[in-house]
Structure 1
Amino acid sequence: MHSSNHIIKFTNDMTVVGLINKNDERAQSGHSPLNINVSSVEIIKSNKFLGVHLVENLTWSLNSSSITKKAQQRLYFLRRLRKARLPPPY
């Protein structure tokens, strides 16, 4: 714990929450490297957590395109069956 931030641990993941002063949450500044037990933490552009794609700029475009792609793949065989005019199973 530091006067400007807190480290909150959720199960096996770590989240670092920083202090926002004078409405500077939108200010673009370089971040100093984060070290935990002398190991540097890697900064990544995106990550998949519990099936949701999280991106560094917090947009939903990667998650939405991933869900759309998965739905298209799963609907492919249903479209093929409809095109072949097979009767539905009873």
Structure 2
Amino acid sequence: MAKFEYWPRYGFENHTLVLPAERSFNLTDSTLWMQDNWLNSFAFCTLYVIAIFGGQKLMSSQKPFGLDQALFWWNLGLATFSALFAS
């Protein structure tokens, strides 16, 4: 059984942006939900692994995408903006 008291519990004082979903997150309710629905995580992980290997099998007969030019421009733009706005 998982603990309900998480210690130490830190606040939001060091975060510049806190979303409403983060403020209202309840550790106890999420722990109880996971204890009741633990089988879902195994089902989703199994589906994920099937999708990865199935996708590889499906795409093995396809022609590869030619993304060299697009990736060159993306990396150049990313490097330029990173250099300009880093300081």
Q: Fold match, TM over 0.5? A: no
> Of Structure 1 and Structure 2, which has the larger fraction of its residues in strand?
1
When normalised by structure 2's length, the TM-score is: 0.30
When normalised by structure 1's length, the TM-score is: 0.30
> Of Structure 1 and Structure 2, which has the larger fraction of its residues in helix?
2
